[in-house]
Structure 1
Amino acid sequence: MTLPRIDIDDPEFEMDEGEVVSYQGQRFTGEVVEYQRGALVSLVTYKDGIEDGPSKEWYMDGTLSSEGTLRGGFPVGESKEWHPNGRLASRVLMSANGLRQLEITEWDENGNLTKEWHADQG
């Protein structure tokens, strides 16, 4: 199933103070994309106006900047961020309900580990 896709610059696109997205006056279900100088820099999936599904961001040169999944507006599962040079910058693992961080790992631009944290499993 292909989701409808709208551009964040579409005049019918609206986001309220609670970050609920509407299109043509209705809560939006589908993908919202953002372009800067012709380059795709953001793709966020919404369900009934709330972030729900895959989310990705890119640097202007097309290099992936971040990716993750949201459910009901909360990050769930694994999310990653990359440095502009393409090296992995961070990896965060969230609980299935998005309310608890389970792991955080971070690296510098050269790939050296700078932080590693794991939640108590007890």
Structure 2
Amino acid sequence: MTSDKARIDIDDPEVDMDEAQRLLYRGELFSGEAVEYVGEKLISLDNYTDGMQNGLSLEWYEDGTLRSEGTVRMGLPCGEFKEWHPNGVLASRKVFDEDGTTLREEFTWDMSGQPLRSWRLGGA
């Protein structure tokens, strides 16, 4: 089954940003998936609605290892965001309010998985 979403390469010369930092494709606000490649390797995929990042956001290292994953709602992070070290070990986990204005939790780990930082809003 194929997706009906429009998909553009973010490096396409017809991709631009307007003064409000909204994504344009051929002069129009873009809705769909914007992808980026290094050579033949997909390294990022972001969803857009009317020029604003909106939906799943994914990044990969060039070897295909997942680099980051999270959800954006109309340009703001919402819910859980995760990042991984190149060796696949979880590097950070952040949790945002659903409106994207407040960071609720942040945890970070070194490349061997040892905790570096553990923080929750209100210290709970």
**TM-score relative to the length of structure 2:** 0.93
Q: Residue 56 of structure 1 aligns to a residue in which SS?
A: strand
Structure 1 residue ranges without an equivalent (≥5): none
- Counterpart for residue 23 of structure 1: 25
Report the more deviating stretch, 71-80 or 4-13: 4-13
Partner Cα separation in structure 2 for residue 121 and residue 106 of structure 1: 16
Report the alpha carbon displacement of residue 121 of structure 1 after superposing the two structures with TM.
7.8
- Counterpart for residue 111 of structure 1: 113
Describe the superposition over 1:48-86 as per-residue Cα deviations: whole angstroms up to 9, x where unpaired: 001110000000000000011001100000000000000
Spell out the pairing of 1:7-18 with structure 2 (5 A cutoff): 7-18=9-20
- Counterpart for residue 122 of structure 2: 120
Please tell me the residue identity of whatever aligns with 1:69. T
Partner Cα separation in structure 2 for residue 19 and residue 80 of structure 1: 24
Please tell me the residue identity of whatever aligns with 1:15. M
Please tell me the residue identity of whatever aligns with 1:47. T
RMSD of aligned Cα (Å): 1.5
Spell out the pairing of 1:94-109 with structure 2 (5 A cutoff): 94-109=96-111
Describe the superposition over 1:3-59 as per-residue Cα deviations: whole angstroms up to 9, x where unpaired: 111011222211235431011111000000000121100101111001110000000
Query: Please, which of 80, 85, 88 is the counterpart of residue 83 of structure 1?
Result: 85
- Counterpart for residue 2 of structure 1: 4
Partner Cα separation in structure 2 for residue 35 and residue 69 of structure 1: 20
Report the alpha carbon displacement of residue 2 of structure 1 after superposing the two structures with TM.
3.0
Partner Cα separation in structure 2 for residue 52 and residue 121 of structure 1: 30
Query: Please, which of 24, 31, 44 is the counterpart of residue 42 of structure 1?
Result: 44
Structure 2 residue ranges without an equivalent (≥5): none
Identity %: 49
The count of corresponding residues between Structure 1 and Structure 2 is: 122
